[in-house]
Structure formats: C-alpha cells, structure tokens
Structure 1
C-alpha cells in the first residue's frame, strides 16, 4: 500500500447499526475499532454520536490526513454533517452502499479501482492527426511564432 506509506489513512465502513474503523499504513490494514447496535434499538442518535466521537478520537490519536468512507448515502450524510470542517475536508472519497460485511481488503480493492478510474479520466486523450495538422498549419500562418535562425 504505497499510497499509505507517508501518513496513515482511515477507512470507515458504516451503516445505520454498525461501524468499523480501519487503519491503512505502511503495508498494513488493521481494525482499530468496531461496534454494533441491535436493529430493534430506536436510539440512532446515540449510535451516531458514538460514531462521530470515535472519528474525533482516532483523528486525534493517529493524525489521519485522509479518510475513505464506505456507507449508504443517508448514513454518510449523517456522519459528515456532525464533523468539523477541518475533519470533513479529510474525506477524500465516499463509497455509497452497504459495505460493513465486506472484508477490509475488498474495501481496499474498491479504493484502488476508484483511484484507477480517477487517474484514467484525468489523463487527456491523445491528439488526433487532424487536430495536429490544424495546429501545425496555424504556426505556419504566424511566422513570428516560429523560431528564426540567426
């Protein structure tokens, strides 16, 4: 995991009743904290407060620069809403869906796939021959732009 060699990253996998927190750093993926609330419990606010308290605590302890959040969209919104602005800006990518039952290595694989997509979409496509000819012809029309040998 070369992208986590400089500073540790926090992977959070959560739903309305369960949250898991993983450390990714220097080639390891380690579970730091996890907790679950029974589905018949109506006190989601208490659960949400615990999730955010855990995030604050882990950020203080490990100085994470980046957070990757795996949660259903409504859960992710609740988590982000209670974060401080400086903490919220550390969230680099959000994955919307139910991921609490996935192995943390699957989360890492999803992360890499998303990074690959982002890299591919940021690279400009190669210039077509037609465009290249147009650019070359424009430079011929403007001799002042061309290099002059002295």
Structure 2
C-alpha cells in the first residue's frame, strides 16, 4: 500500500480543501465498480481522472463522470491542439506524485478539463492517493482547487 501518497494528499487537503473527506479501505478502488463497492456508494457519485500527455508534453487531466469515457479527440479540440495520448502509469506517478488508480482531481500541475456532467453533481468521489483510498469533495471546491475548465470531454 502506498500510504505516503495518501499522507501527502491528506496534507494537501488539510491546507486547501479542509471540508473534503479522505476515506481509506482494505480493498482496491482502482475501478469505479470496485470504488463504489468499497465506499458503499453509487457509480454516479464518482469521477474518473483520465491522464493524458499533449503533443508538447503538457500533462492534461480529463475529469469525467464515473460512468463516462474520456475522448482524446474532444480534449485536443478543446485545447486547440493535436489529439493527446493516454499517459502511462509511470508518467502519471511522475507528473502527479500519485499512482494510477489513486490519482486525485487536484493537487498537482496539470491542465484540468472537467466535463459538464461532472459540474452538475453537488459532490463527487475521486482518487484518494492510493488504489485503496478515495476523497469525497464538493464539486465547486474541486473546481476551485484545480482551476479547471468546464468543457465537454466525454465520448
């Protein structure tokens, strides 16, 4: 378990989003289905952080509803660039400080693009710093923390 990643995120939350709730589990939260089971929550409450690398090397995070898929072509169109590629697990850890499957929606340098369906939800559950943890946060606080742009990025 990557508890130092969780501790780093808890420190960030305490300083920037004190009302957010960090939750740790004894089971994987890597997929939305696993996370919903662990948190005893509905898949509709979750967001996925789809990490991408732009043609100029920029790190991009498309935040979509837990039941949606991100579109690389829509992300490229929204940024006025070529279609980005999906980031590797190694790149995600290097750029965010968090492992793939535990990446939160904030707390590191990236261009954050939030799908409008996410903005319609009052609070969301996102990655909690490890594959066995989650964060529940008010959507407006997430948007403030990541300074994201609301633009359609779902397929």
When normalised by structure 2's length, the TM-score is 0.28
Structure ID, larger Rg:
1
When normalised by structure 1's length, the TM-score is 0.29
Relative contact order higher in (CA < 8 Å, ≥ 6 apart): 2
In terms of fraction of residues, the more helix-rich structure is 1
